[in-house]
Amino acid sequence: MSTSGHSVFRRLLRHPSGLVGLLIIALVVLMSASAGFIFPEGPWVLGGRPRTWPGVDPAFPLGTDALGRDMVAALFYGARVSLAVGAAAALVSLVIGTLVGAIAGYYGGWLDDVLMRLTDAMQTIPSFLAAIAIVGVVGASLSTIIIAIAVVSWPMIARLVRADFLRLRTYDFVQSCKIIGMSDLRIIFGQILPNCLAPIIVSSSVLVATAIITEASLAFLGLGDPNVMSWGTILSTGRPELRSGWYMTAFPAVALVLTVLALNLIGDALNDVLNPRLKERKS
């Protein structure tokens, strides 16, 4: 991509959905960054009367959960965990997906065949089921959850990258790099990869969004990390209270939906900014 990151960002800001998305994400980032300052004791302090409704006690503007923990603190720390899970899982799956896709696409042949069958297999297994199995079997910790999500989401990236590599490796600039004796590694990472960053960047925002939802879904099934306060955790502990204190479910749900929505808006905007041609047609 010849467009510099800076100009992409400026164009995103001019894009209406990009702007809205960035604003929401900025808010979420702000929440997670400030959580430690505003609530230095952490989100687990059993500070209030359990199940205090929002607006009743000024010390707890959004009320307290079933154990008397401040909903605001929980939401702030939850933002931190949900974003971290989303970003880390997306990053790991980007790395795996890019490597697999690049190797398969660049070398082709049997290596491509093997890697693509592996990708097929991964895509054939219902990914959420695979994530459940991994987390269930290895144990529910933040790192397991991140790895589980990454392990099930890389195939999409691999396909994307492979398709671009297949196309680009025949181009003149690649051929000439080979002729002057450049190493495969340098051609892959120095020459071809920078040329297929656009779709990767676009899909990464969707990856983050999917990862956040997956984490919440796992937590909903009781497979969250009990030592961290994610929005999914708040949701699943709040759900039994749904009928008596719906706010315990509603706040994290709204936070979750808004964040995912914002990430998708950014994805759409990036798509428009980076690929004038409609990208969605390529599944």
Partner 1 sequence: MTTPAPSLPEQTPQTGPRKVPSRAMLRYILRRLSQAILVMLLVVIGSFFLIKMAPGDFVDTLAGTSDLTAEQMANLRARYGLDQPVPVQLMYYIARLATLDLGYSPFNNAPVLDILVKRWPVTAILVVTSVSISMVVGTLLGVMAARFSGKPVDLGISILMLLFYATPNFIIAVILILIFSIKMNVFPIAGFATIASGYTGWEYIRDVAWHLAMPVTALCTFFIAIYGRIGRAAMLEVLTLDYIRTARGKGLTERRVIYVHALRNALLPLVTMAGLQVSALVGGAVLIETIFGLNGMGRTAFDAVFQRDTNLLLGVLFVSSLSVVVVNFIIDLLYMVLDPRVEIK
Partner 2 sequence: MTQKFPTVGRRSFLAGLAASTALPLIAMPGKLWAQEPRAGGTLRTPAWPAPSVLNSAISTAGPETFLGPKMFDGLLAYDFGMVAKPQLATDWQMSDDGLRITFNLREGVTWHDGEPFTAHDVAFTFMEVLKVHHGRGRTTFGDLLAVETPDDLTAIFVLETPNPAMMRALDSRESPILPAHIYEGTDILDNPANTAPIGTGPFKLAEYEIGSYVVLVKNPDYWEEGYPLLDRMVIQYVPDSATRAAMLESGQADAVFLNMIPAQDIVRLDEQPDFTMDTRGFEGMPSAQQMDFNLDNPILANVMVRHAIAHAIDPEWITQNVWYGLGTAGKTPLHVDQVEYYTTEGVPEYPYDLDRANELLDEAGYPRGDNGTRFELMLDPSPWGTESITASAYVREQLRQVGIDVTVRTQDFGVFVTTVWTDRAHDLVLYTVNLGVDPTIGTQRFYWSESYRPGSAFTNGAHYMNPEVDALLEAAQVETDPQARRDQYAEFQRIVMRDLPVMPITNIHGANIASTRVHDHTVDALGVLGGFTRLWIEE
Question: Which residues in this chain contact partner 2 in the complex, by CB under 8 A?
Answer: 44-46, 50, 66-68, 136-137, 139-141, 222-223, 225-227, 237, 239-244
Cα–Cα–Cα angle for 224, 119, 159, rounded to 5 degrees: 100
Residue 209 binds which entry of partner 2, partner 1, none, CB below 5-8 Å type-dependent? partner 1
Structure tokens of 233? 């955790």
CB 246 to partner 2: min, Å:
12
Among 10, 117, 167, 178, binds partner 1 (CB under 8 A): 117
Q: Under rule CB under 8 A, which residues in 257-276 are in contact with partner 1? A: 257-258, 260-261, 264-265
Report if residue 66 touches partner 1, rule: CB under 8 A: no
Structure tokens of 96? 């795996």
**β-pair partners for 70:** 64
Among 11, 163, 239, 275, binds partner 1 (CB under 8 A): 239
Q: Are 86 and 149 in contact (CB under 8 A)?
A: no
**β-pair partners for 64:** 70
Of 91-99, 136-144, 163-171, 177-185, which part binds partner 1 (CB under 8 A)?
Answer: 136-144
Alpha-carbon span 272 to 275, nearest angstrom: 6
Half-sphere exposure (Cβ direction) of 223: Cα atoms closer than 13 Å? 24
Report if residue 4 touches partner 1, rule: CB under 8 A: no
Alpha-carbon span 44 to 74, nearest angstrom: 8
CB-nearer residue toward partner 2: 11 or 51? 51
CB 20 to partner 2: min, Å:
33
Question: Residue 129 belongs to what H/E stretch?
Answer: helix 127-138
CB-nearer residue toward partner 1: 104 or 188? 104
CB 50 to partner 1: min, Å:
22
**Other Cβ atoms within 10 Å of 130 Cβ, number:** 15
Longest dimension (CA), the chain: 74
CA torsion through residues 173, 176, 182, 188, sign: positive
Q: Mutual orientation of helices 231-238 and 247-274 as an angle, nearest 10°? A: 150
Residue 128 binds which entry of partner 2, partner 1, none, CB below 5-8 Å type-dependent? partner 1
Q: Per residue in 162-171, is it b (16+ CB within 10 Å) or e — as a string?
A: bebbeebbee
Report if residue 255 touches partner 1, rule: CB under 8 A: no
Site string for partner 1, 202-231 (x = CB under 8 A): -------x---x--xx--xx----------
Residue type, 165: F
Residue 45 binds which entry of partner 1, partner 2, none, CB below 5-8 Å type-dependent? partner 2
Residue 16 binds which entry of partner 1, partner 2, none, CB below 5-8 Å type-dependent? none
Residues that bind partner 1 (CB under 8 A): 117-118, 120-121, 123-130, 132-134, 136-138, 209, 213, 216-217, 220-221, 235, 239, 242-243, 249, 253, 256-258, 260-261, 264-265, 278, 280-281, 283
